[in-house]
Amino acid sequence: MSFIIRIIVSAIVAFGLSYILKGVHINEFTTALILAIVLAILNAIVKPILVILTLPITIVTFGLFLFVINAIIILLAGDFVKGFTVDGFWWALIFSFLLSIITSVLYQEPIRARKNQQ
């Protein structure tokens, strides 16, 4: 159940960001849902491989290169999901950064509520 809620929240945030950011385009909400699922799959399979392959540069940049990996994942998702386009690397970087921050903030509230109940 938690996974489904995370997918829905990610889709809502991504769809909202497509209205705010001029370089990110999502046609409809179902496309945003598909995007959230594809991003979850890419983050589970491709991202760990990229992190291992780029570990030296990630260490040298004190982890900042992970933002570049996130942008690459967004651009890769744009190739798989019809109806989702990103105008360039910088838009993908901004989109991934904002998507990460907003979803992290939204996920924090239920976690805090569960901890307070225990």
Pairwise pLDDT comparison (82 vs 113), residue with the higher score: 82
Per the rule left: phi > 0, alpha: psi between -120 and 50, beta: everything else, 8 is alpha
Q: Collect all residues with Cβ–Cβ distance below 8 Å to 9 and sequence separation of at least 6.
A: 103, 106, 107
DSSP per-residue codes, 60-115: HTTTTHHHHHHHHHHHHHHHHSTTEEESSHHHHHHHHHHHHHHHHHHHHHHHHHHH
Domain ranges of the chain: 2-117
pLDDT at res. 111? 59
| C-alpha 87: how far from chain center | 16
pLDDT at res. 1? 63
Tokens at 112, concatenated = 């805090």
> In this model, does residue 110 exceed pLDDT 70?
no
pLDDT at res. 33? 96
pTM higher than 0.85, yes or no?
yes
> In this model, does residue 118 exceed pLDDT 70?
no
